[in-house]
């Protein structure tokens, strides 16, 4: 195991340092006797950047001895065959810690494909257990999570052997895979994959967090706490009036957008006179998503 906690067993592995001094591993895979799309993808240069501050949340890559068995469990044989062209660019995140993982962020970056702003195109996979689900959707110790470069294609394999959220092949997903191959595989374009952050169930965040998840999630928590303060103990008439105001709020940023979304959800429940669901959601929201009602935070020694 490499010091970063990233498992790699490439046929050809180069190590270098990026400008920030982080280890970057350039993997050039040579896998014979594969279908054309897979063989083409498997020779594609993929730079895996795992700058986690502590080991224990690991990435299993396409060339790992464990990848084939893990992805078979995650997808099943029929789905596996349909998704095979994108598997060389996919990784399996493994929670090898003794803690529950509440969320994580992975970034796919394509330096040769520029957006309108002139920056490399990116696909960001931000996965969380949700603010009001407890441990139900969190990654328990030993759980595995398949991450692919296609939105909507992912799967989770529990340590107890059960698989959740295995993707089903649809016409739209088929088109997405074909488009991805055309845009990023056929040209043999280099791909950068970064494990940007991991958040544990106590709210501790690890990793570089270049996309600012700590700030964004805490703004959402602030919106929930402000909503709780206004609605807790208020009459239904006062609740309706406040929620209607917040739905039409012009407050910008993560805080304003999330507050407006929450207000719309609660207003819908009240309009439907679904007080049971309103009270259940409100009660879970008051408990907070993290242990001890913590915010997202860095560990302080």
pLDDT of residue 268: 95
From 142, 171, 206, give the residue that closes a domain.
206
126, 151, 148, 218 alpha-carbon torsion, rounded to 10°: 0
**Spatial CB neighbours of 186, under 8 Å, sequence gap ≥ 6:** 40
Residues 147, 238: one domain? no
Confidence of residue 91 (pLDDT cuts 50, 70, 90): very high
Residues 147, 79: one domain? yes
pLDDT of residue 54: 64
From 164, 189, 206, give the residue that closes a domain.
206
* Alpha-helix residue ranges (DSSP H) falling in the chain: 36-42, 67-75, 77-83, 171-180, 213-231, 236-247, 253-271, 275-287
Residues 229, 180: one domain? no
Task: Report the domain count for the chain.
Answer: 2
Residues 252, 180: one domain? no
Residues 60, 120: one domain? yes
DSSP letter assigned to residue 294? P
Nearest CA among 234, 221, 280, 215 for reference residue 245: 234
Do the beta carbons of residue 147 and residue 154 sit within 8 Å? Answer: yes
pLDDT of 27 over the 60 cut: no
Q: Is residue 176 part of a domain?
A: yes
Residues 268, 285: one domain? yes
Q: What's the domain range around 260?
A: 213-293
Q: Is residue 301 part of a domain?
A: no
Q: Is residue 39 part of a domain?
A: yes
Residues 197, 95: one domain? yes
Confidence of residue 83 (pLDDT cuts 50, 70, 90): confident
Q: Is residue 84 part of a domain?
A: yes
Confidence of residue 156 (pLDDT cuts 50, 70, 90): confident
The strand pairing partners of 123, in sequence order, are 108
pLDDT of 178 over the 90 cut: no
Rounded average pLDDT over 246-262: 90
104 or 34: which leads in pLDDT: 104
How far apart CA 86 and CA 255 sit, in angstroms, is 36
Residues 118, 165: one domain? yes
């Amino acid at each position: 195991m490499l010091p970063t906690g990233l498992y790699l067993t490439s046929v050809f592995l180069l190590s270098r340092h990026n400008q920030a001094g982080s280890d970057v591993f350039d993997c050039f895979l040579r896998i014979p006797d594969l279908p054309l799309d897979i063989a083409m993808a498997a020779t594609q240069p993929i730079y895996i950047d795992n700058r986690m501050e502590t080991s224990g949340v690991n990435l299993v890559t396409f060339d790992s001895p464990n990848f084939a068995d893990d992805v078979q469990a995650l997808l099943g044989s029929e789905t596996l065959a349909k998704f095979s062209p994108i598997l060389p660019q996919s990784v399996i995140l493994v929670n090898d810690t003794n803690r529950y993982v509440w969320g994580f962020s992975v970034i796919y970056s394509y330096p040769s494909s520029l957006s309108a702003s002139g920056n490399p195109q990116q696909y960001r996979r931000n996965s969380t257990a949700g603010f009001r689900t407890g441990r139900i959707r969190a990654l328990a110790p030993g759980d595995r999570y398949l991450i692919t470069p296609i939105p909507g294609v992912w799967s989770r394999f529990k340590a107890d052997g059960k698989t959740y959220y295995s993707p089903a092949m649809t016409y739209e997903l088929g088109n997405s895979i074909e488009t991805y191959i055309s845009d990023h595989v056929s040209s043999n374009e280099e791909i950068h994959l970064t494990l940007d952050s991991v958040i544990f169930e106590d709210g501790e965040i690890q990793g570089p967090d270049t996309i600012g998840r700590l700030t964004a999630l805490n703004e959402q928590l602030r919106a929930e706490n402000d909503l709780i303060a206004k609605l807790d103990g208020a009459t239904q008439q006062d609740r309706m009036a406040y929620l209607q105001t917040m739905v039409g709020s012009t407050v910008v940023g993560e805080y304003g957008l999330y507050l407006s979304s929450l207000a719309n959800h609660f207003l819908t429940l009240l309009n439907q006179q679904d007080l049971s669901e309103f009270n259940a959601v409100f009660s879970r929201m008051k408990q907070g998503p993290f242990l001890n009602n913590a915010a997202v935070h860095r560990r302080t020694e």
